[in-house]
Amino acid sequence: MIRVLTILLLLAAPVVRADSGVDKLTIAGIAEFTNAYQAWDGARFAAAVNLLQQSCTNAAATATNFYWLGAAEFHRMLQLLGLPGSNTNKLAAEAALEAALEALKQAVKLDASHAESHALLGTLYGMKISNHMLYAAWLGPRVQREFKLALANGAKNPRVQYLMGMSQFYTALRTASRREALTTLLAAEKLFEAEANTPPGPLEPRWGHDSCLTFIGSCYEKLDQRGEAESYFRKALAMHPQDGLAQAGLKRVTKNGK
């Protein structure tokens, strides 16, 4: 009996070490992502992507690994889009968008209930439509499907609500639609505040709060409520001084951007 247990333990040991290796790579990638996010640094986003790609090549890779790879590629794309216009940056951003899509599709394949992956997929499909309106006919239903799945599995997840509100903001053409986006984003803000009261686990996300505040400011700006817009742009910058959208928004709604 002792011999059998010993053999079983020896067989199990490599698996434990492999899982630990994946976790270490993922945790290192998340740490690099967090640093990149705070500094809004393209090189660090690329480093995070590299670490997370390695974690996804292991046979024990999970939906969490692919989710984080997709999130890193998503933010790498956003950082590239914010750089001074050049064809190189545009092509690199498009490549990051496609890489994010592939990683997130793998994440929901491994775990169909992964709400944030569905929400990011919906956002990315929406961005593809905004870049090429001819895609609307076949990608529009995918956007709706992904957000429906995201809400079904994570209605109380702040990033799900934030990403949905951001998508509503970009597609809103009328006052009523802008108010709907604002309502969604304000609900996300409350969820972010509640989330901040609980310490995260090593693999749990904590991004998006500052950007949510920025988009609330943008909604108020579109609704011509400049005082509220200024307040939210300032809140976003207090949390994340490198937020270029909040910086630009504050300049628009104040005389000197200060």
Between vectors from CA 209 to CA 146 and to CA 28, what angle results, nearest 5°? 85
- The answer, yes or no, to whether residue 105 has pLDDT greater than 70, is yes
Lowest pLDDT segment from 58-62, 103-107, 220-224, 253-257? 253-257
Token representation of residue 157: 């997840």
pLDDT in tens, 205-225: 999 999 999 999 999 999 999
- CATH fold of 156-258, please? 1.25.40
Instruction: Kindly report the three-state secondary structure assignment for every residue of the chain.
Output: CHHHHHHHHHHHHHHHHHHHHHHHHHHHHHHHHHHHHHHCCHHHHHHHHHHHHHHHHCCCCCHHHHHHHHHHHHHHHHHHHCCCCCHHHHHHHHHHHHHHHHHHHHHHHHCCCCHHHHHHHHHHHHHHHHHCHHHHHHHHHHHHHHHHHHHHHHCCCHHHHHHHHHHHHHHCCCHHHHHHHHHHHHHHHHHHHHHCCCCCCCCCCCCCHHHHHHHHHHHHHHCCCHHHHHHHHHHHHHHCCCCHHHHHHHHHHCCCCC
Rounded percentage of the chain residues whose pLDDT exceeds 70: 86
Domain boundaries, the chain: 1-111, 156-258
Instruction: Say if CB 184 and CB 165 are below 8 A apart.
Output: yes
What pLDDT, on a 0 to 100 scale, did the predictor assign at position 14?
Answer: 35
pTM (predicted TM-score): 0.86
Give the tens place of pLDDT for each residue, 159-180. Answer: 999 999 998 998 888 999 999 9
Contact 89, 81 (CB under 8 A): yes
Residue where the block lists tokens 């630009």: 248
